[in-house]
Amino acid sequence: MKHLLSTENLGAADAIRILDTAEEMAAVGDREVKKLPALRGRTVVNLFFEDSTRTRISFEAAAKRLSADVINFAAKGSSVSKGESLKDTAQTLAAMGADAVVIRHWASGAPHRLASTDWIDAAVINAGDGTHEHPTQALLDAFTMRRHWSRLHSSSSTGADLTGMRVAIAGDVLHSRVARSNVWLLRTLGAEVTLVAPPTLLPIGVEHWPCKVSYNLDETLEAGVDAMMMLRVQGERMNASFFPSTREYSRRWGFDDARLRALDDLGLKDTIIMHPGPMNRGLEISSAAADSPRSTVLAQVRNGVSVRMAALYLLLSGDSREAAPMPGTARSDKESN
Amino acid sequence: MTETATGTYVIRGAAILGGDAEDLLIRDGVIAGRGIGLSAEGATVIDAAGLVALPGMVDIHTHLREPGREDAETVETGTRAAALGGYTAVHAMANSNPVADTAGVVEQVHSLGRASGWVDVRPVGAVTVGLAGEQLAELGAMADSRAQVRVFSDDGICVHDPVLMRRALEYVKAFDGVVAQHAQEPRLTAGAQMNEGTVSAVLGLAGWPAVAEESIIARDVLLAQHVGSRLHVCHVSTAGSVEIVRWAKERGINVTAEVTPHHLLLTDELVRSYDPVYKVNPPLRTDADVQALRAGLADGTIDVVGTDHAPHPSEHKECEWAQAAMGMTGLETALSVVQETMIETGLMTWADFARVTSTVPAAIGRVADQGRPLEAGEPANVILVDPAARWTVDPHKMATMGRNSPFAGRELPGAVVATFFKGHPTVLDGKLNTPYRHAAEPAGAGSNN
C-alpha cells in the first residue's frame, strides 16, 4: 500500500493485515511507556480542511506513539475563494518534506487528487472526504467488531474476519462517509450488512450496494443483529425536508430506550451498539443506549488510535510503500455488486 | 480595407459528402464549378484524393469567453481553434462579462469576430438581463443590431421561470428568433456535481438527476406548442430527454435539439478518477444514455451536434472536484469524436454528418451563406477531411487556450486538412493559414465612436 484512500478497493488480505497490526499497536497502548521508535525522523502532516478535533487528535496520538514528528495544518475555508489552492498547499508540504499527509476535506475525492497528481509524493491517508469515505473509521469499527466477535466465539481475533456477523447501520446513509467505508469493508470481511434509513437519506443506486436495505429499524432488529451502528444526523439535514421533524426521525430511526429494551426481549444479549461520534443524544441514540454496557463508543475511540498507528506504520515503514497496488486507484469489475 | 482577394483553387478528386470523387472549383468566394477534370487559369490545385469534402461546420454552441475572461479564451484564439476543427461559423454564447444582453455587447463580439476573420462569429443574446432570470433583455435591439442576433440563450443557467420562458418564446417570433434553453431545474440540482446514479452513490458527489433536465424539456415543448414558437434545446444528455423530444416532434412541435460530442462518447464512470477534466454541465451520463443519444442523432430526433466548447484556465481544473469549473473544450475534437461515435459505428454517413454539423445548425441560427450545398454558385465554405487519419489528442498542441480536453491522450480518427471560409483557406495541410479579411462594415456602422 502506498496510500489509504478508501475501503472500496482494499482487499481482504490488506484489511486483515491492518487489523492484525492494530492489535499489536494496541498492546503498546497498554504499556507504561506508550511509545515505539518505528517512525522516528518521519514527518506526518495532519491537513484538516474541516473541523474534526476527534479525528485529528486520534491521528496525532497515533503518529506520536510511533515517534513521528507531527505537524498540524488547519486549512479551513474554501481553497479557491480565499487563501491557497490545494495544489499549492500540497506542494508546500512536499517542499517541507512531509512523508505522510493525513487529509480531512469537505470535498469528496480531495485525497484522491493528492494521491493521483504530481503535487506531492507523500503517502496519503484519507481522514474523511466529503460524503465519500472515511476508511480509518471503518477499520476501527471493524477492529471493534472483530474483537467482540472473536470473544463471543472464544477465538483469537488475529487473522480473523467477520464472516457471519450481522451488522445494521442506521441513519443518514446518503451523506455518510462512515456508512460507505463500512459497507465496502464489512463486505470484504464477510459480514452481512443492512442499511436502515428513511428513503430520503439513501442514495439513488443503493440497490447495487453489497448489502440489504430496510426502512424499518424494528423489523431489522427482529431479524437479528450482532452490531447496531447509529449514524449522526447532521444539523443541516433537519431543515431540508429529508424528514418531517427530529421527533419523527427519532421515533422511527433513532435507537431509543424502547429499542434498547427490545434487544433484551428479542434475546439479543450480545448485540453491541456502536456510534462513530459525536453523538446527538436523544436524536439518533438515547442516553440509556449510549451509556449501556452494550455501547462500544469509547472502545471505538480507543481502537481508533491503534488502527491509525497501524495504517501509518504500514504506509511509512520499510519497503511496503512500493509493494502493493494503491487502493482506490484501480477498481475491479465486480466490487460494487 | 478591402476584402481579401480569395484566389482560385481547384480541389481535385474529393469525395463530395463522402460520395463520388469530383473536383470543386473555388473562385472569388464561391464554388464556381463542380465536376470532373475542372481547371482554371492560375488556380492552386489541391490534391484531395482520399479526402471528403463537406460544408464548413457551424457550431450552435461555443463559449469564446470574450469579453471578460480573456485568460480563458479570446475571440481570436477560439476562432482559430474553430477553423482548425473544421468550422466556418460559431455561435458565441452570452455568458461573458459583461453578459451579452445588450446590442452593444453583441456588436462588440460581432466586430471581434470580423476582425479575427477565421470564421463567422454569430453572437448569442442573453434571454434575461445579466442571465438573472428575472427580466427580459432587449432582445429586439440585439436582433436589429449589426450582430443580427437570432439565437437567444441564458446558457449555463436555465430560464426556469415558466412565465418568463413563455414570454421569451413568444417575443422572439417578432424577428424569427429562437430560444435555446439550458434545461436544468435549479432546485433539483442545487450543489450538483455529477450524474445522479450508481457512480455518484459510491463517490459521494451530489447528484444531478436526469429528471432535472427532462422535466424542463417536457415543460418547454408544451410551452412552445401552446404559443406556436420555435424552441432549441441545448446539450440534451439523457435517454429520457431524447424520448421527450421524439414525442414532441411527433406532435409537430417546432423543437430542435443538440447533443455534444462528449455526451456521445464519455460516461460518468470517468468521474471515479475525481479528475475535474470530466466535470461538465450537464454531466456525463451512463452508457445507456450515450447509446440513446447516438440513436437519437442518427434518426433525426436530435438535430445537431453542438460542441459546448468551454475553455477554462488550468487553475480552475487543478483543484478539488467540487471546486472545479464545469466545462470541456471541444472545437478541435468534435469532428473526430462524431466520426468515431456515429460514422465508424455505421449509424451515419458523411452526408448525415454535414446535416447535423452544418446544414441544420445554420438553419436554426438563420446564418445566411452557411450550411449550403456544395454546388456551383454557393458560397465557398468548404472543408476537406482525411477520414483515414488517426491522431492522439494533446491539449497542449491545440489553438484554444483551454487545456481542459476530456479526450487528452485518446486516439481519435479523422483530421481536418483544409478549411475554406468564404473561399479563402483559413486552414491548409491541417495547419492554420491566414484569416479572411472582411471589407469594412457598411457606412455608419463603424466602431469608431
Q: Do A208 and B315 touch (CB under 8 A)?
A: no
Task: CATH number of the domain at B23, please.
Answer: 2.30.40.10
Give the three-class secondary structure for A169: strand
Residue B269 lies in a domain: yes
Q: Which among A107, A130, A206 is the nearest to B201, CB-wise?
A: A206
Following DSSP, what letter does each residue of B272-290 receive, concatenated?
A: GG--GGG--SSPP--HHHH
Same domain, B140 and B227: yes
Report how far residue B237's alpha carbon sits from residue B161's, in angstroms, rounded to the nearest whole number: 21
* Distance to chain A for B213, nearest Cα, Å: 17
Report how far residue B136's alpha carbon sits from residue B130's, in angstroms, rounded to the nearest whole number: 10
Query: Residue A291 has what pLDDT?
Result: 97
Question: What cell was used for B430?
Answer: 491541417
Query: Residue B5 has what pLDDT?
Result: 60
Question: What is the Rg, in whole angstroms, of the alpha carbon atoms belonging to chain B?
Answer: 21
Q: Is B287 a catalytic residue?
A: no
Long-range (24+ apart) CB contacts under 8 A made by A106-109 are A106/A49, A106/A50, A106/A130, A106/B322, A107/A49, A107/B320, A107/B321, A107/B322, A107/B323, A108/A132, A108/B193, A108/B203, A108/B204, A108/B205, A108/B274, A108/B321, A108/B322, A109/B203, A109/B205, A109/B274, A109/B320, A109/B321, A109/B322
Give the three-class secondary structure for A180: helix
Residues 6+ apart with CB under 8 A from B133: B154, B157, B158, B159, B160, B161, B164
Same domain, B275 and B180: yes
Which whole number is the average pLDDT over B148-158?
98
User: How far separated are the first and last CA of chain A, in Å rounded?
Assistant: 24
Of residues B405 and A1, the one with the higher pLDDT is: B405
Task: Give the H/E segment covering residue B10.
Answer: strand B8-16
Same domain, B416 and B355: no
Report the relative pairing of strands A212-214 and A192-196 from DSSP bridges: parallel
Residue B437 lies in a domain: no
Give the three-class secondary structure for A274: strand
Same domain, B25 and B80: no
Q: Do B201 and A105 touch (CB under 8 A)?
A: no
Instruction: To the nearest 10°, report the CA torsion of B366, B370, B373, B377.
Output: 110
| Cβ–Cβ contact B204 with A under 8 A | yes
Query: Residue A83 has what pLDDT?
Result: 65
CA distance readout (Å), B421 to B9, B94, B380, B434? 13, 24, 7, 11
Give the three-class secondary structure for B152: strand
Query: Residue B21 has what pLDDT?
Result: 97
| Cβ–Cβ contact A131 with B under 8 A | yes
**How many domains, chain B?**
2
Interface predicted TM-score of the whole assembly (ipTM), two decimals: 0.89
Same domain, B35 and B106: no
Report how far residue B76's alpha carbon sits from residue B121's, in angstroms, rounded to the nearest whole number: 10
| φ, ψ of residue A73 in degrees (nearest 5) | -125, 105
Task: Give the H/E segment covering residue A127.
Answer: strand A123-129
pLDDT digits (tens, 9 = 90+) for B341-372: 999 999 999 999 999 999 999 999 999 999 99
Give the rounded distance of the alpha carbon of A7 from its chain centre.
Answer: 9
- For B446, counting Cβ atoms within 10 Å of its Cβ (0-12 exposed, 13-18 middle, 19+ buried), the class is exposed
pLDDT digits (tens, 9 = 90+) for B259-316: 999 999 999 999 999 999 999 999 999 999 999 999 999 999 999 999 999 999 999 9
- For B155, counting Cβ atoms within 10 Å of its Cβ (0-12 exposed, 13-18 middle, 19+ buried), the class is buried
Residue B233 lies in a domain: yes
Residue B372 lies in a domain: no
Report how far residue B318's alpha carbon sits from residue B279's, in angstroms, rounded to the nearest whole number: 12
Which of B196, B200, B203 to probe the A interface (max A CBs under 10 A)?
B203
Q: In this structure, are residues B124 and B152 in contact, taking their beta carbons and an 8 Å threshold?
A: yes
Chain A residue with CA closest to B198: the answer is: A205
Report how far residue B129's alpha carbon sits from residue B432's, in angstroms, rounded to the nearest whole number: 37
pLDDT digits (tens, 9 = 90+) for B107-128: 999 999 999 999 999 999 999 9
Query: Residue B279 has what pLDDT?
Result: 98
Which of A3, A78, A112 to probe the B interface (max B CBs under 10 A)?
A112
| Cβ–Cβ contact A200 with B under 8 A | no
Residue B85 lies in a domain: yes
Res B446 pLDDT > 70: no
pLDDT digits (tens, 9 = 90+) for B73-109: 999 999 999 999 999 999 999 999 999 999 999 999 9
Report how far residue A252's alpha carbon sits from residue B182's, in angstroms, rounded to the nearest whole number: 40
Helices and strands (H and E) in chain B: how many: 12, 19
Report how far residue A308's alpha carbon sits from residue B341's, in angstroms, rounded to the nearest whole number: 48
- Cα-based angle A127, A132, A133 (whole degrees, multiple of 5): 40
Same domain, B95 and B204: yes
Residues 6+ apart with CB under 8 A from B170: B227, B229
Of residues A239 and B317, the one with the higher pLDDT is: B317
Residue B310 lies in a domain: yes
Q: In this structure, are residues A143 and A19 in contact, taking their beta carbons and an 8 Å threshold?
A: yes
Report how far residue A230's alpha carbon sits from residue A285's, in angstroms, rounded to the nearest whole number: 7
Report how far residue B74's alpha carbon sits from residue B80's, in angstroms, rounded to the nearest whole number: 10
Same domain, B173 and B290: yes
Query: Residue A29 has what pLDDT?
Result: 80
Report how far residue B233's alpha carbon sits from residue B217's, in angstroms, rounded to the nearest whole number: 7
Residues 6+ apart with CB under 8 A from A246: A233, A238, A283
Of residues A325 and B223, the one with the higher pLDDT is: B223
pLDDT digits (tens, 9 = 90+) for B9-52: 999 999 999 999 999 999 999 999 999 999 989 999 999 999 99
* Distance to chain A for B219, nearest Cα, Å: 24
Residue B369 lies in a domain: no
Chain B residue with CA closest to A112: the answer is: B274
Res B445 pLDDT > 80: no
Q: Do A336 and B202 touch (CB under 8 A)?
A: yes
Report how far residue A189's alpha carbon sits from residue A163's, in angstroms, rounded to the nearest whole number: 6
Tell me: cis bond preceding B282? Omega within 30 of 0 counts.
yes
Same domain, B142 and B247: yes
Identify all chain B residues contacting A113, using CB atoms and an 8 Å cutoff.
274, 319-321
Task: CATH number of the domain at B291, please.
Answer: 3.20.20.140
Res B71 pLDDT > 70: yes
Helices and strands (H and E) in chain A: how many: 12, 9
CA distance readout (Å), A20 to A40, A140, A158, A180? 22, 12, 5, 22
Of residues B3 and B426, the one with the higher pLDDT is: B426
Among B residues 288-327, those touching chain A with beta carbons less than 8 Å apart: 315, 318-323
Q: Which amino acid is at A90?
A: A
Report how far residue A23's alpha carbon sits from residue B230's, in angstroms, rounded to the nearest whole number: 70
Identify all chain B residues contacting A110, using CB atoms and an 8 Å cutoff.
320-321
Q: Which among A113, A205, A208 is the nearest to B320, CB-wise?
A: A113
Residues 6+ apart with CB under 8 A from B358: B54, B55, B56, B57, B58, B370, B371
Same domain, B329 and B417: no
Q: Which amino acid is at A197?
A: A
Identify all chain B residues contacting A109, using CB atoms and an 8 Å cutoff.
203, 205, 274, 320-322
Query: Residue B2 has what pLDDT?
Result: 46
Residue ranges for chain A with pLDDT beneath 50: 78-81, 319-337
Question: What cell was used for A45?
Answer: 502532516
Q: In this structure, are residues B412 and B391 in contact, taking their beta carbons and an 8 Å threshold?
A: yes
Same domain, B414 and B398: yes
Number of cross-chain residue pairs from A and B with Cβ atoms under 8 Å apart: 83
Same domain, B271 and B331: yes
Domain that holds residue B61: 56-364
Same domain, B295 and B423: no
Residue B241 lies in a domain: yes
Q: In this structure, are residues A225 and A262 in contact, taking their beta carbons and an 8 Å threshold?
A: no
Angle between helices B75-84 and B103-116 (to 10 degrees): 50
Query: Residue A237 has what pLDDT?
Result: 76
CA distance readout (Å), B295 to B6, B214, B259, B306, B351? 40, 17, 11, 16, 17
